[in-house]
A and B are shown apart, each in its own frame.
Chain A
Amino acid sequence: MSKSNRLLNELGTALLAGDIDTVDLTHTLDPDFPVMILPPEFGQCARFRVEEVSRYDDRGPAWYWRNFSCGEHTGTHFDAPVHWISGKDLPDAAVDSIPPEAFVGPVCVLDCSRESAADEDFLLTPEFIEAWESKHDTIPEQSWVLMRTDWSRRSGAEYLNMREDGAHTPGPNSDAMQFLIDERNIRGFGTETVGTDAGQATHLSPPYPAHYLLHGANRYGLQCLANLDKVPPTGAILVCPPLKIKHGSGSPLRVLALVDRRPA
């Protein structure tokens, strides 16, 4: 048995034995789940919708199936670099051309839940990341980095937290994004909120730094994640393949984390 086969065999055994948990980081695709709201004169993100084709009835006596429709950025979803203008000309930057190895890999979870509870406009900074690293070690290269805010526990109007001056939700500042890209060479960045950027990120410089900087550097985004409190700060594996949509700017997807439950 080759070394790689042994590794995967061990993984398979651990999965079957329940030593490795498969944690679902995905919200259910629900027609009433919030989506990003843009000024009304712009095009809007399509909501998730289903229409029944048949349900064991005259439209199809023995089978139940439905049509669904949504945007590429509806529900828990993946952002490809071509989503943003800064990534529009990059190679292999749409969901169908991103190398598949990008969709499985190590993940670090930065717990900002306490800070976000205290300040709904909390911004992740390089200092926060370095303080985290002093406890958990340096973020490995090519990792996914997820920002835990426990925002996924909010529902209804509390989730978008939209007011007359826009949404108020946590996210990264520009320096944090630049740091994660330049100094840590991360693969992608994910959040529990409706976007990778903070609710007030239009007022940062550059506006929407997570989108602008991540995608400009050919990195990926994940948003509307859930259950980040069930993923350890380090050591888990993220599985996040988007639908293979031709030249897709993103896609709703199922996001899973493999978490080792064996005592260290």
Chain B
Amino acid sequence: MVEPLKKPPKKNPQKRTVLPTLPPFARSRRALAFTAAAAEGRFVLQRCADCESVCYPAREICPKCWSPALRWDDMPDGGQMIAETTLRTSINTYFRERMPWRIGTVQLDAGPSVLAHIHGDVNERSRVRVIARTDKSGQGVMIALPEKETPNMADDRQLRTLTCDPKFRRVLITDGRTELGQAAAKAMVDAGASIIFVGIAESWRPYPGKEALGALPGVEILPLDITDTISVQELAGEIGGKTDILINTAEHVRPGASMERDGVVTARDEMEVNYFGLLRLIQAFGPGMRARGADGDNSACAWVNLLSVYALSNWSAYGTTSASQAAAYSLSQCLRAEMAGSGVKVVNILFGPLDESWRQPLPPPKVTPERLARTVAETLQQGIETVALGPVAEDVMRRFKEDPLVLERELSQIQLG
């Protein structure tokens, strides 16, 4: 049984912060499809379209029939442990710092046998469940888990290198004025975060839910306005060195396409929050988080962006807002590239219409703020980086993957009312 994680001690101010080191980074272009799926929490392998055999590792052609028609398919996650060992030394710095380390061979139900990391509760020759996740290098790897849930399963040392569990971590929620921000704070309390910093802009304006938010255990309300560079810098000066997870709940949403706008004031407000706000947060909090990716059990581990799924493809009913979300999505890709090698994951949750006042006339299905907040917690616990949340977002994401040009045409046909 895995020992339950203990609350990390206060940091020794005389010790140098451990710098992030990395497990093997290089992957072939082919193998990146495995990484991209792992980032979504999916376990995919190549299947030959001609002979139907499944192969691993990533290949250019089918090793069985030499067909080039290999496609990445979702696979059943069951398997059987056939061999396992515990490494006690390594020439790789990352693993040296983390010895001992369990690895083993799993005979997958899908066909191939694979080398995988092994959860501490997996017994020799037992049935396992294999999941794919991105590791500290941002690359897809497999870990074999016990077939059934075990006590403190998430606290396993090796599994925790692949997840971003909020337990005992310190979380910044950038906007607590909204239902979404308050639901996110609650979800982080429930997930066991030790401190939840909640940013409040313009405290001179009242907002609903203030008392309940302040009463949540572990919540500290701090001034933060992501449209104000000075405010963001001041807060980073205070808590940038102990922000382990950043959840950007701020958004500025207004209905309307470009010709329905008179001037650029509203569009600029959208960009100020959705794009420049994110950029300010990155500039102020990014460097500190990037340097703390290996800083013990409460290392910096995740940067969470909550974006409308119309960041992927514009929906003209919210045309200029979609454009600002697209800018934010593009910036999140830049951030992910900059965070590569730090061990900090950039998590994008792309949601369908949110159940809040600026999307009030939209028909269901909608995503409630509580559902989105719970999804943030679950996504972090599972170590996933990309989620499409809600039926609308799932549909848009699926079509986006199929053909973004067709999706664009389709969205242009969807009118309100």
Contacts and interface: CB of A to CB of B under 8 A. Distances in A.
Interface of A: 31-32, 34, 37, 43-44, 46-47, 49-52, 155-157, 159-160, 162-163
Contact of A160 (B204, B223, B229, B231): B204
A32 B229 contact: no
Contacts of B202: 32, 34
Contacts of A47: 227-228
Contacts of B230: 31, 50
B225 interface: yes
Contacts of A44: 269
Contacts of A50: 229-230
B228 A162 contact: no
Contact of A43 (B204, B223, B227, B266): B266
Given A43-B265, A43-B266, A32 B205 contact: no
A162 B203 contact: no
Interface of B: 202-206, 223, 225, 227-231, 265-266, 269
Contact of B229 (A43, A51, A155, A159): A51
A32 B231 CA distance: 9
A32 B225 contact: yes
Nearest to B268: A46
A49 B204 contact: no
B227 A49 contact: yes
A49 B233 CA distance: 13
A156 B203 contact: yes
24 contacts: A31-B225, A31-B228, A31-B230, A32-B202, A32-B223, A32-B231, A34-B204, A34-B205, A43-B266, A46-B265, A47-B227, A47-B228, A49-B228, A50-B229, A51-B229, A52-B229, A155-B204, A156-B204, A157-B205, A157-B206, A160-B204, A160-B205, A162-B205, A163-B206
Nearest to B223: A32
A32 B204 contact: yes
Contacts of A163: 206
A162 B207 CA distance: 10
A155 B204 CA distance: 8
Contact of B203 (A31, A46, A49, A157): A157
Contacts of B266: 43
Given A32-B223, A43-B265, A43-B266, A49 B205 contact: no
Q: Considering the complex of A and B, which 10 residue pairs feature the smallest CB-CB distances, nearest first?
A: A34-B204, A31-B228, A156-B204, A157-B204, A43-B265, A162-B206, A51-B229, A160-B204, A159-B204, A156-B203
Contacts of B205: 34, 37, 157, 160, 162
Contacts of B229: 49-52
Contacts of A162: 205-206
A218 B110 CA distance: 82
Contacts of A34: 202, 204-205
B267 to A, nearest CB: 12
A159 B227 CA distance: 22
Contacts of A52: 229
A32 B203 CA distance: 9
A132 to B, nearest CB: 31
Nearest to A194: B204
Contacts of B227: 47, 49
Most A CB within 10 A of own CB, among B202, B228, B229, B265: B202
A159 B204 CA distance: 7
A32 B205 CA distance: 11
A249 to B, nearest CB: 14
Given A32-B228, A157-B204, 14 more contacts: A31-B225, A31-B228, A32-B204, A32-B223, A32-B231, A46-B265, A47-B228, A49-B227, A49-B228, A155-B204, A157-B205, A160-B204, A160-B205, A162-B205
Contacts of B231: 31-32
Nearest to B255: A41
Contacts of A43: 265-266
B112 to A, nearest CB: 53
Most B CB within 10 A of own CB, among A32, A47, A155, A160: A32
A60 B231 CA distance: 23
A47 B225 CA distance: 11
